[in-house]
Amino acid sequence: MIINRPINIGQTPRGIDSLFLNIGEFFFTDAHCQLHTILGSCIAITLWHPKYKMGGMCHFVLPGTRDFKRQIEDPSRINGRYSDSAMALFERDAKRYNTKLSDYQAKIFGGSNMISNSTLAEDDMIGNKNTEAAINHLAEKNIPIMVAHVGETGHRRIVMDVSSGDVWVKHEPLQKNIPVTRR
């Protein structure tokens, strides 16, 4: 678990523990709880183990870090804001529970273009780079991707139920600015 703030687990109306993840945060558990986050160009990866009914979520903002080798050598330096570090956190916690990453199911969300009239090429948009990084990391670890709700514009609110692996998505596309003509 990497949470950069004191953990404040609340209760949903049904009495289920609930935790909101901010940018760069990571949480992995075998408890019955719901994990929430809001995404734009960031990516959330959820991993779920269908046999043991456990898993977690990361919320990364950038596709990789130059400092990754030093972070792996000193785990206290791992920064969940980067895709490679977030995958290292998943790997660490899977080992802690004596499971293999390839036995988990992945779902990825986010990677939106947050500027509706950008002049950047598709390959230069941070949302696309984040999406590509997530897909590549999961492929390297032989983790099957069950769902990908990525790209487009706007923000997403997601909720993961750790006990079932279900993830709910609410997607709000960016509103197009309509030029106002004056007479």
**H or E segment and range at residue 19:** strand 17-20
Contact 44, 57 (CB under 8 A): yes
Return per-residue pLDDT of the chain as tens, 183 residues.
555 554 555 555 465 688 999 999 999 998 889 999 999 999 999 999 999 999 999 999 988 766 656 555 666 667 788 899 899 999 999 999 999 999 999 999 999 987 765 555 565 688 899 999 999 999 999 999 999 999 888 899 999 999 999 999 999 988 766 566 666
Q: With helix as H, strand as E and coil as C, how does 140-158 read?
A: HCCCCEEEEEECCECEEEE
Report angle CA 29, 34, 40 to the nearest 5 degrees.
Answer: 105
| Residue carrying structure tokens 């293999």 | 100
Fold of domain 12-161: 60s Ribosomal Protein L30; Chain: A; (3.30.1330)
Residue 77: strand, helix, or coil: helix
**H or E segment and range at residue 50:** none
Backbone CA torsion sign across 133, 134, 136, 137: positive
